[in-house]
Amino acid sequence: MLETGTMAPEFALPDQNGNIHRLSDYRGRKVILYFYPKDMTAGCTRQACGFAERYPQFLEKGAVVLGVSRDSVASHKKFEQAHGLPFTLLSDTDRTVIEAYDAWKEKKNYGKVSMGVVRTTYLIDEEGRIIRAMDRVKAAENPGQMLDMLA
């Protein structure tokens, strides 16, 4: 996991509509950058819907929410539409950003070891510096935790 106090790595990724987003586009705002394994799965849907429910509160506190996974732009669009997600989903099919943010790790599932995206969330300040870093977060709890950190 990246250290708090360090500058967050710059990126350029397409969203669910194919538009490119860069971290630098959000200078002057706090950014909640969360990495999740897969669109339309139970835990990832709980996490995304938790961020969606609290989205007006995030905006009130001057923060933007960006979700990142390896899923395609088309998959993100379906996920957004199926759950009415009001925030940006970024597609990192080649894992460049996922790896830069140290969210690609060894996982164990039912005794099987494999590499994959580990649910990781960063809070980035208005200048692009990491002020909170959390890995192996619980999907249902993470949105509330992040909102509390903005208080």
Question: If we measure between CA atoms, which residue out of 94, 114, 112, 92 comes closest to residue 36?
Answer: 92
Residues facing 110 on adjacent strands: none
Q: Tell me, yes or no, if 44 is annotated catalytic.
A: yes
The catalytically annotated residue of 44, 66, 98, 124 is 44
Task: Say if residues 9 and 100 touch (Cβ distance below 8 Å).
Answer: yes
Question: Can you read off the two tokens belonging to residue 32?
Answer: 């909640």
Strand 30-35 versus strand 20-22 pairing type: unpaired
User: Is-contact 84 109, C-beta < 8 A?
Assistant: no
Active-site annotation, residues: 44
